[in-house]
């Protein structure tokens, strides 16, 4: 604070001195300030955006469906391009003891860290996007619809109960969760994360016993090119 005050005082004194020396000089009209150049708009996203998520246990590649879930994909890519996801944890593995195994999901994200998250996004239900919760699907985590920010799940099995059900009397079930892409390689890594040790005590309510201990670190998340389809 002392340096800042001293610099401010010095600038003020210099301005005052200049005014006294040049007091007799005729005043020149002030130049009209130039308008600031508009910030360049980001290039529009293609229908499908591929990202590589490098974790401590290997790499997961995902194709994000921008054509059918534009709001959700643009939000996710905003975090990717800002490198907000670098260093985040996979912190949860939900293991369902029914159905064909492995059955459940893994969850990662910024856990509402106010220093890293952007504003919540509008909810894109599956009855609008047409993207169902199948094995390998990536889906936004949320509280109420319209609260999703930077946490997401990757499914190890078909969990279509997470899809929107407009006929349900429950508003939360009516909305479902927002699926927005799927794994194209690295389901073995998803399984390794799901199989990682859990804490018997961490987590509150239904999350107790589902928290990874230690969490699995995500090193980087980056856009990558989709290889061209070989000519037939």
Which domains can be identified in the chain, with CATH numbers?
Answer: 48-224 (2.40.100.10)
Give the per-residue pLDDT at 79. Answer: 98
Q: Average pLDDT, stretch 102-113?
A: 97
Distance CA 69, CA 67 (A): 6
Distance CA 229, CA 227 (A): 6
pLDDT tens across 132-146, in order?
Answer: 999 999 999 999 999
Give the per-residue pLDDT at 17. Answer: 30
Task: Tell me the two tokens of residue 94.
Answer: 């939900």
The single residue listed with the structure tokens 């016993």 is 209
Residues 6+ apart with CB under 8 A from 183: 60, 61, 62, 136, 137, 138, 154, 190
Distance CA 45, CA 169 (A): 36
The single residue listed with the structure tokens 């006929």 is 167
Give the per-residue pLDDT at 232. Answer: 76
pLDDT tens across 162-219, in order?
Answer: 999 999 999 999 999 999 999 999 999 999 999 999 999 999 998 999 999 999 999 9
Give the per-residue pLDDT at 200. Answer: 95
Q: With 50 as the cut, is the pLDDT of residue 99 above it?
A: yes
To the question of pTM greater than 0.85 for the whole model, the response is: no
Give the per-residue pLDDT at 65. Answer: 98
Residues 6+ apart with CB under 8 A from 110: 79, 84, 85, 88, 116, 117, 149, 150, 151
């Amino acid at each position: 604070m002392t340096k800042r005050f001293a610099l401010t005082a010095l600038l003020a004194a210099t301005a005052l001195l200049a005014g006294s020396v040049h007091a007799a000089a005729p005043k020149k009209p002030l130049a009209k300030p130039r308008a600031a150049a508009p910030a360049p708009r980001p290039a529009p996203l293609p229908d499908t955006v591929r990202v590589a998520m490098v974790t401590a246990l290997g790499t997961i590649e995902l194709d994000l469906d921008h054509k059918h879930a534009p709001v959700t994909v643009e939000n996710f890519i905003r975090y990717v391009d800002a490198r907000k996801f670098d260093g985040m944890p996979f912190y949860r593995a939900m293991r369902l003891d029914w159905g064909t195994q492995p059955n459940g999901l893994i969850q990662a994200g910024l856990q509402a860290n106010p220093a890293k998250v952007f504003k919540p996004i509008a909810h894109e239900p599956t009855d609008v996007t047409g993207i169902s919760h199948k094995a390998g699907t990536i889906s936004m985590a949320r509280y109420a619809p319209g609260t999703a920010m930077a946490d997401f799940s990757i499914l190890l099995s078909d969990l279509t109960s997470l899809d929107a059900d407009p006929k349900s009397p429950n508003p939360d079930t009516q909305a479902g969760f927002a699926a927005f892409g799927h794994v194209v390689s690295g389901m073995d890594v998803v399984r390794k994360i799901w199989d990682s040790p859990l804490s018997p005590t961490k987590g509150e309510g239904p999350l107790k016993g589902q928290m990874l201990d230690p969490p699995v670190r995500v090193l980087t998340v980056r856009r990558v090119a989709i290889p061209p389809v070989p000519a037939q």
